[in-house]
């Protein structure tokens, strides 16, 4: 790994793994303009279609008029406003947890929260397919990282049974971001508590999208839950919710909170509007529509992976789908394990039945050409 920057870029290019980007020329949604082409979007995490929702836009306008744009400093210095406090109270009330704390993003939450909870001499147990931000949080913590097989509760138990001295934390996603499958949170929590471990669940893809009022999948037994406002909630930023002592510790120990500028008040105001929408009957209707689209797709969740295996094959599928007017991004290593390149098809409550039917036809053609 002593290659120069130029050599690294050339090697990425040669292996077909050089990352690029497209340009979105319309607001986020299911019918978008991407690089000048009108397409039906099957790649965003805007699962309810809130990113451009009138209620969020109105809340944001109002907050800009009241507060301006930036928070100006860490919340611990002079960047804390009533909107930040109100959003934390809203999250705690929504998820029926004693307390909640905001973070700049889900990535910042995981890299801040995990090192705040465990350190050198402790252990952290992590599902092998956990998100990059969890992996980095585990590494930053300097705790001993015990990786258990994907959703493998028996393996987790084997590791937990080993003798230990320090603190212990089990961390898992609820709905896995690249596979759309679910961990058995009840079994994991039971095991963890029987073996002196706290449980942290990353509910990034479930908050807003599943459960009564969109509370996600982390049940009351789970000690701490991380969620993001960047996906089903249509905005940006993130939170941790749970035991008040752990939440209070974050002010003192979570470096990505302490040493980082507070979220812009406008972003908090949009998140408050998103949560209120999620808790309303309109939110129920959105989630019912999302489930309907999931069943039309023949998938288990709104994340429907279509495995190609080969990196180049998946990029060809993406190109052919684009020609047919559909966008589904090919996902390659290191985002997913080598040999499992895939389309990560994501569904939205804003898709129509025709969008799904048309996409399925185009996908069949793209795969058989
Ligand atoms: C997207 C994602 C994150 C990061 O959240 P952001 O708010 O986008 O930074 C964290 N964990 C999981 C499981 C995710 O899918």
Q: Per residue in 256-274, pLDDT tens?
A: 999 999 999 999 999 999 9
One DSSP character per residue, 269-283 reads HHHHHHHHHHTSHHH
**Mean pLDDT in residue range 186-201:** 98
Whether the predicted pLDDT of 308 surpasses 80: yes
The residue contributing the CA closest to ligand 1 atom 15 is 177
pLDDT attached to residue 299 = 96
With the most atoms of ligand 1 within 8 angstroms of its CB, the residue from 28, 177, 228 to mutate is: 228
Whether the predicted pLDDT of 19 surpasses 90: no
DSSP state, 217?
S
One DSSP character per residue, 57-109 reads HHHHHHHHHHH-S---S-TTTT---HHHHHHHHHHHHHHT-SEEEEES-HHHH
Query: Which of ligand 1's atoms lies nearest the C-alpha of 173?
Result: 13
**Mean pLDDT in residue range 354-359:** 98
| Percent of the residues in the chain that have a pLDDT greater than 70, as a whole number | 100
Give the active site residues: 45, 131, 173, 177, 202, 205, 231
With the most atoms of ligand 1 within 8 angstroms of its CB, the residue from 47, 131, 178, 236 to mutate is: 131
- Residue 109 Cα, ligand 1 centroid: separation in angstroms? 9
Whether the predicted pLDDT of 110 surpasses 60: yes
Q: How long is the chain? A: 369
Strand, coil or helix: 133: helix
Q: Is 177 in the pocket of ligand 1 (CB under 6 A)?
A: yes
For the question of whether the overall pTM of this predicted structure is more than 0.85, the answer is: yes
pLDDT attached to residue 334 = 87
The residue contributing the CA closest to ligand 1 atom 10 is 106
| Percent of the residues in the chain that have a pLDDT greater than 90, as a whole number | 95
- Residue 243 Cα, ligand 1 centroid: separation in angstroms? 21
Whether the predicted pLDDT of 283 surpasses 90: yes
Whether the predicted pLDDT of 79 surpasses 70: yes
Helices 185-194 and 153-161, interaxial angle, to 10°? 10
Whether the predicted pLDDT of 316 surpasses 80: yes
Query: Which of ligand 1's atoms lies nearest the C-alpha of 131?
Result: 13
**Mean pLDDT in residue range 75-103:** 98
Residues 202-248: tens digit of each pLDDT: 999 999 999 999 999 999 999 999 999 999 999 999 999 999 999 99
Q: Is 340 in the pocket of ligand 1 (CB under 6 A)?
A: no
**Mean pLDDT in residue range 134-154:** 98
- Count CB neighbours of 30 within 10 A: 19
pLDDT attached to residue 369 = 74
How many DSSP H helices and E strands does the chain contain? 13, 13
Give the containing element (helix H, strand E) for 246: helix 244-253
Q: Is 42 in the pocket of ligand 1 (CB under 6 A)?
A: no
Whether the predicted pLDDT of 2 surpasses 80: no
**Mean pLDDT in residue range 268-296:** 98
Give the pLDDT band of residue 1 (cuts 50, 70, 90).
low
Q: Is 131 in the pocket of ligand 1 (CB under 6 A)?
A: yes
Query: Which of ligand 1's atoms lies nearest the C-alpha of 133?
Result: 10
**Mean pLDDT in residue range 157-178:** 97
pLDDT attached to residue 16 = 76
Q: Is 237 in the pocket of ligand 1 (CB under 6 A)?
A: no
């Amino acid at each position: 790994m002593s290659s120069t920057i130029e050599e690294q870029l050339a090697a990425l290019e040669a292996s077909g793994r050089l990352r690029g980007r497209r340009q979105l020329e319309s607001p986020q949604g299911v019918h978008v303009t991407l690089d000048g082409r009108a397409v039906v979007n099957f790649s965003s995490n805007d699962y309810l279609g809130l990113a451009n929702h009138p209620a969020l836009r109105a809340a944001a306008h109002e907050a800009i008029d009241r507060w301006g744009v930036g928070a100006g400093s860490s919340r611990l210095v002079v960047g804390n406003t009533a909107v930040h406090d109100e959003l934390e109270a809203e999250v705690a009330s929504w998820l029926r947890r004693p307390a909640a704390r905001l973070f700049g993003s889900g990535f910042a939450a995981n890299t801040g929260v995990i090192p705040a909870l465990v350190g050198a001499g402790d252990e952290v147990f992590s599902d092998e397919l956990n998100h990059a931000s969890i992996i980095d949080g585990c590494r930053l913590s300097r705790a001993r990282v015990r990786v258990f097989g994907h959703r493998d509760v028996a393996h987790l138990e084997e590791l937990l049974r080993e003798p230990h001295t320090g603190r212990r934390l089990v961390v898992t996603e609820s709905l896995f971001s690249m596979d759309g499958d679910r961990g058995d949170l009840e079994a994991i929590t039971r095991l963890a508590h029987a073996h002196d471990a706290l449980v942290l669940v990353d509910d990034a893809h479930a908050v807003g999208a599943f459960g009564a009022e969109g509370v996600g999948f982390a049940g009351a037994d789970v000690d701490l839950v991380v969620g993001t406002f960047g996906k089903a909630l249509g905005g940006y930023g993130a939170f941790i919710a749970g035991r008040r002592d752990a939440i209070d510790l974050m002010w003192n120990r979570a470096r990505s909170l302490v040493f980082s500028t507070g979220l812009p008040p406008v972003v908090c105001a949009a998140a408050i509007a998103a949560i209120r929408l999620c808790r309303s009957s309109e939110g129920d209707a959105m989630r019912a529509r999302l489930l309907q689209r999931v069943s039309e797709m023949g998938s288990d969740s709104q994340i429907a992976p279509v495995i190609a295996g080969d990196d180049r094959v998946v990029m060809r599928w993406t190109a052919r789908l684009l020609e047919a007017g559909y966008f589904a991004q090919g996902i390659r290593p290191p985002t997913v394990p080598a040999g499992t390149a895939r389309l990560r098809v994501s569904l939205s409550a804003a898709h129509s039945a025709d969008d799904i039917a048309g996409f399925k036809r185009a996908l069949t053609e793209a795969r058989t050409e």
